[in-house]
């Protein structure tokens, strides 16, 4: 089966409406995907094909930061409270001992928070704070590692020492 991208609204619909005790049938056309189980049929448009994640995944890194996932999630939540923009952009400034998170949504004000982090260099990057928070939830670990190359390159997020499972987060301009 080809790897495809579904609209973000489709997955929750599937979980909510498709019966779990029925066989699932999946059909694809060029622009649509059809899910059928029992007497329920859900048809969705396709958003495109899934990118080659190996090409996006940085093979090496210039800077690595280690940080508590729980502390980072809490700091993201705090700085996003003033963010009224749809993009949830947060500026992350890493130095050797801390990470400063800044949200500047314009008229709604500004928020800044600092958390302890161990980094082998200094780095500034923008990320979607909501995406990062969700990604941290899926790692199920107390501490996380973030690997950076430059502000325009993909960011690798993973459990410390883990090589098989990771998340790639695309940076944002802030």
All domains of the chain, ordered by start, with CATH?
4-49 (no CATH), 54-169 (3.10.150.10)
Contact predicate 63/148, CB 8 Å? yes
Answer with the residue of higher pLDDT: 161 or 118. 118
Q: What is the distance between the alpha carbons of residues 101 and 23, in angstroms, rounded to a whole number? A: 46
- What is the pTM for the complete model shown? 0.71
Query: Given this model, what pLDDT does residue 141 score?
Result: 87
119-130 residue pLDDT tens: 999 999 999 999
Are 159 and 147 a contacting pair, CB within 8 Å?
A: no
DSSP for residue 159? -
Of 173 and 86, which is predicted with more confidence?
173
**Angle between the N-to-C axes of helices 69-80 and 129-139, in degrees from 0 to 180, rounded to the nearest 10:** 150
Over the stretch 140-150, which tens digit does the pLDDT of each residue have?
Answer: 889 999 999 88
């Amino acid at each position: 089966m080809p790897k495809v991208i579904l609209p973000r609204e489709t997955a929750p619909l599937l979980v909510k409406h498709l019966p779990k005790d029925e066989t699932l049938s999946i059909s694809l056309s060029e622009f649509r995907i059809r899910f059928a189980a029992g007497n329920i049929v859900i048809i969705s448009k396709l958003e495109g094909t899934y990118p080659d994640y190996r090409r996006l995944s940085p093979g090496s890194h210039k800077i690595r930061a280690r940080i508590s996932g729980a502390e980072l999630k809490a700091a993201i939540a705090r700085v996003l409270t003033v963010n009224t923009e749809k993009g949830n952009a947060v500026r992350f400034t890493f130095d050797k001992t801390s990470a400063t998170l800044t949200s500047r949504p314009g008229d709604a004000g500004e928020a800044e928070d600092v958390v302890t982090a161990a980094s082998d260099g200094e780095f500034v990057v923008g990320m979607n704070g909501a995406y990062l928070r969700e990604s941290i939830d899926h790692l199920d670990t107390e501490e996380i590692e973030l690997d950076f190359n430059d502000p325009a390159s993909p960011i690798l997020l993973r459990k410390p020492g883990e090589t098989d499972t990771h998340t790639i987060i695309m940076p944002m301009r802030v």
